[in-house]
Structure 1
């Protein structure tokens, strides 16, 4: 059923600004009370979510074309593990540095307009990649990547913080599962197709495609209505860096005073402690498969990653509908993912290597969606943007450390690629054990009162 005709932003804000605050749910509550809606039902009945989702699909498709093209270009120009690792480090480091401002901006600014602006600016930045023509242009490539990620850093927390307002109640679990499955499906399609298109048309054509997808995403968001009950107007205008510092500190204090929220904000970093290096090494492993071109090999492995992360949330949602069981499942996902990923270090590097990659990332996808839903339901709307920005800050910083270490070990030949795959899969196993031994008992000890009555900030 189509929602009523859109009304003005002012009237939406006025109508919703005094909406009562809904208490944050404890992990033992929620899914038992409301059955989640179906995927097709959500897309058909919720126009605003549909527009947000379609924009995400199109821009992500272009991003994965872009990503495979950059990996291939770096490998062709340098053949250096560290130069390739620097691509991952710069992307993640740029996001980490921009995250403190991003969360504050997402909480203080109209999130819809913020996402539109980010799309438009990124469409201009990616066209700058056309100027990269040789090894001497690598500094320009790195700078443009940093700009693209820094601008996009406000998009992710704004989108994540908007999702509970666009798909409230029982629709939220379905919306998160669909978003994660979409990211994964587009990765599977975009990485594979990106490898083929890069080999066929060249990297310049891929950069044009990526710029166009940002414009399409912006046009879809322009048509959407995204409520934001916590948005305030007026008041003194302090310099953004002062506001960012004060409110970022408040966001960190919020996590420290809300242990159930803080635990979920760390979940993705537990998987990434070893998993980030494994993802980086997929780009190196792509050249070992004997595919028709290096771009095709990288595309195949990243497609396997996308297929796995798409299956994981769907299977996890079907098997585990009670949120109280999710923390235990999340730890098991990290541990088993490390065990499965270790197979890539033992088996022959043929197309069969795709199987453990699919399984490992299916477990990663389930862990991702479980932690995201719990974080969204436990964090208050007024702090949600900062909570997600802080989560990404923690995740990206840990990933930067992991990938830098892996790339240096490989660059200086202290480890072979096989040895590195085995070593970092072992790190994932240890991280999973730590989650099961430390976080799961803490979740079991937590009471509903500890969530509903947090310590004062």
Structure 2
């Protein structure tokens, strides 16, 4: 898998991704501490609003900025987005009111909503060989999972010697280092698309999704992933400390089980996709996720003691593995369903549509979970996951061939 790093352009871009992810992880920790410093007991409200703003920016801003910048070269676009993110990170330690956090978070996440799909759309041109591209996707999945484990530990270690405001400096360094690596990377030639009306550019990615059976299937799988991700991210701490009465370290252990399952699958994905088609792998995960979440519901409701804890750890690991069977190969579908001309729009559409699913399931998992309990809200998420699986299997029929990309 690491052989793909022999490509110097990809090696630099992958390094930029890792550094930016670590910077973002430090930012998340520092932002929570800043919110508490400003709002005290209402810090949860501030963070909840900030995360909602993040999702709204991801859903609404990404297609618009992609349409507005469709004819701009990718390299200066990525550099500019990184510099904006660094500028916002510099400003955050100086805020004194919650509304200032909200404005800066919107600017930061709007820049991320521009950077991420544009970055992802460049990689297929850097790695035209599908085998190499698949290995790059596995590395990317590993990077995301490792960041979720490493960033909190790094932040905790740094907080023993510096104040939380200084964590923002680490974020600034991360974004500036990412921009520097992009600057020194040699980009392949990517033809500038011909002029087109703004509405045509704005809807280009969504039209590509509608035209492709694979991508319509991916839309259903996005909904499945959103259900399990919401349950894990929003309710793991509530489950471990609230329902089970276990210590904070067990929250980290349970999240590590989820991340570990995801990483194991990501490591084996290139060989798996050499022997099995994407549809079989991804739909297996799409069907397994609601089943595993249903099993977790039963364990939460009826099991107890050590057996319950061990069972939940195993289930969280399996849920992470099933989620990775969808997330790791998904960009292969985007690559096949796009052309050089519309690829940024297709990746932006995936970025926006997948986060629209999170915008539904995250509030459900949090608000409904507090109102009716974890077992009941898990059943609701199971129902949504089953709906997503039905959409995916219906839209992505086995006899379908790969359609020509929508121009």
User: Any idea what the Cα deviations from partners look like across 1:18-54, whole Å, max 9, x if unmatched?
Assistant: xxxxxxxxxxxxxxxxxxxxx22111x2000000000
For residues 371 and 380 of structure 1, the distance between their equivalents in structure 2, rounded to whole angstroms, comes to 16
For residues 106 and 308 of structure 1, the distance between their equivalents in structure 2, rounded to whole angstroms, comes to 38
Identify which of 307, 324, 341 aligns with 1:382: 341
Once superposed, what is the RMSD of the aligned Cα atoms? 3.2
Identify which of 83, 100, 117 aligns with 2:63: 100
Tell me which residue corresponds to 1:119: 82
For residues 351 and 60 of structure 1, the distance between their equivalents in structure 2, rounded to whole angstroms, comes to 31
Structure (1/2) with the larger helix percentage: 2
Higher mean C-alpha displacement, 340-349 vs 116-125: 340-349
For residues 387 and 85 of structure 1, the distance between their equivalents in structure 2, rounded to whole angstroms, comes to 29
* TM-score after normalising by structure 2: 0.84
For residues 197 and 91 of structure 1, the distance between their equivalents in structure 2, rounded to whole angstroms, comes to 26
Tell me which residue corresponds to 1:9: none
In the TM superposition, what are the counterparts of 1:76-95 in structure 2 within 5 Å? 77-78=40-41, 82-95=45-58
For residues 102 and 239 of structure 2, the distance between their equivalents in structure 1, rounded to whole angstroms, comes to 22
Counterparts in 2 of 1:106 and 1:156: CA distance versus 1, 3 Å: farther
- Check conservation: 1:100, 1:389, Cα contact below 8 A: yes
In the TM superposition, what are the counterparts of 1:245-394 in structure 2 within 5 Å? 245-282=199-236, 289-291=246-248, 303-321=256-274, 322-323=276-277, 324-339=279-294, 342=297, 343=299, 355-394=314-353
In the TM superposition, what are the counterparts of 1:39-438 in structure 2 within 5 Å? 39-43=1-5, 45-74=6-35, 77-78=40-41, 82-105=45-68, 107-132=70-95, 137-169=97-129, 170-198=131-159, 201-232=162-193, 243=198, 245-282=199-236, 289-291=246-248, 303-321=256-274, 322-323=276-277, 324-339=279-294, 342=297, 343=299, 355-409=314-368, 414-415=371-372, 419-420=373-374, 422-438=375-391
User: Any idea what the Cα deviations from partners look like across 1:377-404, whole Å, max 9, x if unmatched?
Assistant: 2222222211121122222222123223
- Check conservation: 2:26, 2:155, Cα contact below 8 A: yes
Tell me which residue corresponds to 2:392: 439
Task: Name stretches of at least 5 consecutive residues in structure 2 with no aligned partner.
Answer: none
For residues 440 and 359 of structure 1, the distance between their equivalents in structure 2, rounded to whole angstroms, comes to 21
Counterparts in 2 of 1:428 and 1:404: CA distance versus 1, 3 Å: closer
For residues 360 and 211 of structure 2, the distance between their equivalents in structure 1, rounded to whole angstroms, comes to 27
- Structure 1 residue 127, shift from structure 2 partner: 1.8
- Check conservation: 1:282, 1:301, Cα contact below 8 A: yes
Higher mean C-alpha displacement, 195-204 vs 370-379: 195-204
Task: Name stretches of at least 5 consecutive residues in structure 1 with no aligned partner.
Answer: 1-38
Name the SS of the counterpart of 1:91 in structure 2.
Answer: helix
- Structure 1 residue 347, shift from structure 2 partner: 5.8
* TM-score after normalising by structure 1: 0.76
